[in-house]
């Protein structure tokens, strides 16, 4: 029996998402859920993320991030992306 379908999404978050541990919570949640990808702050105050894994795990990741103290996601936009077959781990990018 095949496992869940693996997806890759680019997500952009707005709200109280910078300076509140958002990226660190994202990495912690992704590692715990077996997701891959990266997250970084953008100059406009939003946070950009690419994440890959089962849709249910991506949804759980977002809930875990938002459960953090001080984090408040007011808006979220998502785009589908092609899979990155040779990606391992989840990182915080500073670029």
| Catalytic sites, residue numbers | 23, 41
Residue 48's nearest CA partner among 79, 10, 16 is 10
Distance CA 86, CA 61 (A): 21
């Amino acid at each position: 029996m095949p496992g869940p379908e693996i997806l890759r999404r680019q997500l952009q978050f707005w709200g109280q998402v910078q300076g509140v541990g958002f990226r660190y919570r994202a990495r912690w949640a992704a590692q715990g859920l077996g997701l891959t990808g990266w997250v970084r702050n953008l100059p406009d105050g939003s946070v950009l993320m690419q994440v890959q894994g089962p849709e249910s795990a991506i949804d759980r990741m977002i809930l875990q991030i938002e459960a953090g103290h001080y984090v408040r996601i007011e808006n979220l936009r998502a785009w589908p992306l092609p899979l990155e077959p040779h990606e391992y781990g989840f990182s915080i990018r500073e670029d």
